[in-house]
Structure 1
Amino acid sequence: MSPRAIFGIIVTIILAFVGATMLGSVVETVGADEIAIMQDPFDGELHFWKDPGTYFQNFGRVTKYKKSSQYWFSAKTDEGETKDQSIRVRFNDGGHANVSGSLRFDLPLDDVHLRTIHTRYGSQAAIEQDLIRTVVSKAVYMTGPLMSSKESYAEKRSDMIQDIGDQVSHGVYKTETEEVRETDPLSGKEKTVSIVKLMKGADGTVLRQEASPLEALNIKASNFTINEVTYDEVVEKQITQQQEALMQVQTAMAEARKAEQSAITAEKEGQAAAAKAKWEQEVLKAKAVTEAEQKKAVAELNMNAAEFTKKEQILLGEGEAARKRAVMDADGALDKKLTAWVEVNKAYAAELGKQRWVPEVQMGQGSGNTGPDIMDFLKVKTAQDLALNIRMQPGPGAQK
């Protein structure tokens, strides 16, 4: 092959290489998730390509950014970078920890803010490292003093996530330190502690030291998440000891409340039993009162009946007495007198029948039989006692 041919081949290869190289500076393809900023090679003007498609580059320099990105600050190598990107935090009790998490940020689509971002940072990596990480680190740093290690571990974990996310989006809080006396939950003794408090305005809103750079650049941060807080070994031990001590305290308090509740329950049960016994006695009393009232009513009825009976007997007696008086006035109680006279004579006859009317030995003259005379005497006496006139009444023509 002649030297001319070899030279032609070399020139062709060089031209092809240069052409291929320059072809990448002629057109640029922009993806749907990208923003491309092209700087004109002649006048330096910036052109913003935000819609997907192919654009004439005109040999200008193109810088691409992601419209939306997930930023990781994690100790895990499979989250974000392959190295530890967690952020250090110090709490108000002096404990330290490394916070791991992530957030999503969206770039603005207006030319003004894109121009500022591109001019200030110039690349996606610079935005993540110089802007996002700085803002997150500052928010984490300012949140630590608002709580203790134990509080971040337990009761204020959600507050820590909310406070960091709010300061990332809107700016760090303005705070003040105050010395206060509080009771140690473990020892029960009072101690002086320094409390970092948020400063608030007249309308009650939290004051901020400065606005968030993200807010100034119209970058939207969202979905802030903390997936791990790795405490120093000494802090971890302290938290564990505090948790155990608090569990013992809470157990003791729970047992005390249980005992107190048992005492209250016993008291209430005693009161209920006493009330029940009282009402049972009230029931018995009511029954007794009812029975007494019934007996009283019956006695009153019986008394009224007796009163009526008494009046009836009195009236009957008065009537009988009046009847008897009338009989006496009429015949002088002849029937009774005769009955009495008969009975007396029977008694005389019985007694006289026992006597010897004929003497076994008779001396002198006379009949010696005095029995009839005695009988006549007794009859006359009896008649006189009965106030009877046993003589026959003379007839109308008889002589008196």
Structure 2
Amino acid sequence: MSVLSPLTPPPRLLMGPGPINCYPRVLSAMATQLVGQYDPVMTGYMNEVMALYRDVFNTKNQQTFLVDGTSRAGIEAVLVSAIEPGDKVLVPIFGRFGHLLAEIAERADADVHTIEVPWGEVFTAADIEKAIQEVQPKMLAIVQGDTSTTMLQPLEEIGSICEAHDVLFYCDATASVGGNPLKVDEWKLDAVSVGLQKCLGGPSGSAPITLSDKFVKTVRTRHHVEAGIRDAHHESARGPKIRSNYFDLPMIMDYWGEERLNHHTEAASMLYCARECARVHLEEGQENVIARHKVAGDAMLAGVQAMGLAPFGDLKHKMYNVVGVYIPDDVDGEAVREALLLRFNIEIGTSFGPLKGKIWRIGTMGYNAREDAVLHTLQSLETVLRMQGMTLPQGAGVDAALAVFTEAAND
């Protein structure tokens, strides 16, 4: 076999729904040399990561740490650790990733109940309270921002509803964290899991999570045994053991805690990466980062509208960091995406399910939530659409976006 050449990926501008281009500082952090997993330098970094993500999540939760794996690893860890066979779980579905939560809960042998709204809409607090009253679930599992529809589910009132009905409140905020408000303690969330590959400006591969005391107490009652070693430590535990060893949150908490009980070998390079994602986010300031995402998202929306393209969904509930755009009639949506990718080095997304082939999804996330990325994408999209035979107002998209950026700069 011949020796392969070094990695030389093309210089893509990732303007889809994620992943995105990493912040340069995050890429540099991943190249940092390793130390042993119990080296005091390493455990010090772990403590720093926990503290940093408490600030990212806006929480005082002691149990705030990383699950090694993609954002789906965080989802699975939360669900398999909390759900016992037959537990009722309520999943409000407004896009593809609500279906994912329901599937993972079903695999954990939950009694899953779902409610749905048409894609492009979100739930009211009254919708969810009514379903909770009817189902009486152990857990409500919901997505905050679903990139398949570009919608952002309001969460502010749901925590108090869950608290009143003694329901655990879990949220997957992978696509929304960092670019949209997320206030874990104020909104009374019991568990939140996220990933790095959207607004936090990192690669996929690490899943920050945070757990309330109520959630921790719930999962600590699950019995688990590792080769007989942990019996004494968990002699007061009860109930069926957690079905996954890797995603057993009590064991992972013991690994991250002061006892440092061995569970796995921490993915050190991803820990360095997650640490730098949080540092970049917090150094800029959360309010500033969210405002930057809003301006970039508003500019992209204004640009596509000025080009005569129709945005998808209820714009009152659009995520700041991604916009859905209807593919015009008589335009080959995949040919447009291919031309953007291969001729302009820009990636935008398609969608799934009922929206497959009907909309593009254009992201403005993390490192790419900036003026030049938005303007370059809009100008390139206009050019490709002209190549497809569309008649467009020349430069209108870029002009509209520039007006948004200029107004924001003058405020």
TM-score in same-fold range (> 0.5):
no
Q: TM-score, normalised by structure 2?
A: 0.19
Q: TM-score, normalised by structure 1?
A: 0.19
Name the one with the larger helix percent.
Answer: 1
Name the one with the larger strand percent.
Answer: 1
By relative contact order (CA 8 Å, sep 6+), the higher-ranking structure is 2
